[in-house]
Structure 1
């Protein structure tokens, strides 16, 4: 790129990056508020909430990048046009195509980045988040322990903990377990949840156990260390259930038999695959519409509010219709081709408006003069 093109590239890239960052920040804030349940109800750490929030970012970026590109490009091009920097660029001998090339290059970069996110990063992050969320929901420690309250679990198992320290150490633990007409209780000064050979265990220290049988026999004993097996109270057959957004492209277009029906129908999986491949086209469409809104007409000292409003409305309509086509493609496979045609046609129309504006136009007076000379 020439010096002027590098300047234009920087001037457009900065607002685009700022717009994408602002939208991503709003999305991350929304996700973090949704994840507060993990801390409040599940007793998880702030790090777990932060991890799940960050794992949701790739899916957000796939939606945010075209929008941020459109908004940032409009801001940058409007400023360049209003301050007559584009006029100075053209006056220096730079052709309009050379001036547009940095914007097109930026759109291509965003399109490639979107493709990488939708095909590689997003499914990995979604699968990791789904597995992590499943582990939290099935965490027997989080389900059975609530500070200062009696919590009843499976098979009548009841647990009480007076205090839970930040390190996970349980203080003054009490466990009650009925067994038909019999009942057993444990109490310990300290306890901690652990995994031994992959099995969930509760290690109790400095405690006692009491067993009452239906025959009226009471048995009491003390211990320095006792390990309570929690495996019988966990359904080991449960597995995390994935969604189409969690699968890679190879799994979407050639799903395994167990994926069809459990994750989604074959039509839903195929529609998801085509939606990911067509997502980068919306980045190209966003830049084409932004260029057409600012440079697709006559220079105006009063601003370009009307043209920007029309471009924004067109972008919004096309994107919403695109989501509708994705939903319809799950039931009608032939609609998948529209997932590609819609952004391509919208881009072509925007470029057509831009091309027409770039061509020199003859005024009516010049045309009448040329007709008179020809006559």
Structure 2
């Protein structure tokens, strides 16, 4: 009973150490990646007039994809760190002296890895597609319905294929100076509109540009004559001008697994890429278990040394870098030729199976020796 309680307490201790370290490491790396990636969208707030809440909402939708990518890597890092720390503090020495085998010491970390794998599947099959769908949709709305805020000083901004707007400068009160609009929405009356100043106003269907003191120039196709109309005020509806006629085409990252496995007939040319992406979603969470086994074999496998062994961690770090590079290469070749999709499954499972076998091998040999010893003694008698 005491031995069982001791093992249970040690399991809980190791499990808590690995889990807490994993939460802290994953949270820190996610925040760092979010900060670096969100810098791409800072221009929306600083120079284009969108609110801070729009920025936070848009960039926060990318967080699930960051977590899904780094979870397998952080699992390896945390297991390597926790077990190496316990080895340097002689905790592993005490646990081995208490009779715990490498496999028994590995079970708490494997429990964390299994939990992370389940979370990874939840993110890969549901969380990431949903968040990316919301991200793409919100980004599309910003580009179309809020296109007026994307106008830049001194830049010809194409709000659609048929409407281009140029502004020379923008005052602190929001007044636009030196406005030029190339309007080709009416094919029979391609117009060029000039205005001294203007202002963005809110219309019933979205933003509009109120033009003041300007002229509208249209070429008469029948006579070839340039017709010029001056005006005091005129309005252009940017929301209707930038609204797409068709629906937004979904990206691979935002569709469901079934949609990836059975792509739309219109996407037949990219069928191989979509099917490969589906298998990536199914295999990516499994790499968590493989990477966890690599970390456990690095810390617990091989000949035990009280003062630790720096060579195994260094070798496994090199192996991890190689596996990450090979995973990217396998994803590329599988997208080109779906007959090579099995490489994705081998990459996700084979390293873990090999490390599992290497970690169990000493225990198997020890059991076989123990079983063989009584037989040898009996035969001698």
**Corresponding residue for 1:310?**
315
Are residue 112 (structure 1) and residue 121 (structure 2) matched? Answer: no
Judged with a 3 Å threshold, the aligned counterparts in structure 2 of structure 1 residues 75 and 177 are, in CA distance, closer, same or farther, namely closer
The 3-state SS of whatever aligns with 1:330 is helix
**Corresponding residue for 1:330?**
335
The 3-state SS of whatever aligns with 2:259 is helix
Tell me how far 1:35 sits from its aligned partner: 2.5
Q: Is the 8 A contact 1:104 1:287 kept in 2?
A: yes
Tell me how far 1:83 sits from its aligned partner: 1.5
Counterpart-to-counterpart distance in 2, 1:325 and 1:216 = 62
Counterpart-to-counterpart distance in 1, 2:192 and 2:98 = 94
Q: Is the 8 A contact 1:107 1:283 kept in 2?
A: yes
Matches within 5 A, 1:1-375: 2-39=8-45, 42-92=48-98, 94=100, 96-138=102-144, 139-143=146-150, 145-146=151-152, 158-159=166-167, 162-163=170-171, 170-171=174-175, 185=195, 191-194=200-203, 196=204, 199-202=205-208, 228-230=236-238, 233-234=241-242, 236-237=244-245, 239-261=247-269, 265-359=270-364
Counterpart-to-counterpart distance in 1, 2:317 and 2:72 = 12
Counterpart-to-counterpart distance in 2, 1:315 and 1:216 = 70
The 3-state SS of whatever aligns with 1:202 is strand
The 3-state SS of whatever aligns with 2:265 is coil
Tell me how far 1:355 sits from its aligned partner: 1.1
Q: Is the 8 A contact 2:15 2:109 kept in 1?
A: yes
Judged with a 3 Å threshold, the aligned counterparts in structure 2 of structure 1 residues 62 and 182 are, in CA distance, closer, same or farther, namely closer
Tell me how far 1:314 sits from its aligned partner: 1.8
CA RMSD of aligned residues (A): 3.7
Q: Is the 8 A contact 1:318 1:343 kept in 2?
A: no
Q: Deviations over 1:291-341 (max 9, x none)?
A: 111110223244321001111222222232222112111122221122112
* Gap runs ≥5 in structure 2: 1-6, 183-188, 218-224, 368-372
* Gap runs ≥5 in structure 1: none
Q: Is the 8 A contact 1:18 1:72 kept in 2?
A: no
Report the number of matched residues: 350
Tell me how far 1:106 sits from its aligned partner: 0.3
Counterpart-to-counterpart distance in 2, 1:320 and 1:104 = 24
For normalisation by structure 2, the TM-score amounts to 0.77
Q: Deviations over 1:184-225 (max 9, x none)?
A: 75856x64234x2xx334275xx9656678999986667xxx
Q: Is the 8 A contact 2:201 2:209 kept in 1?
A: yes
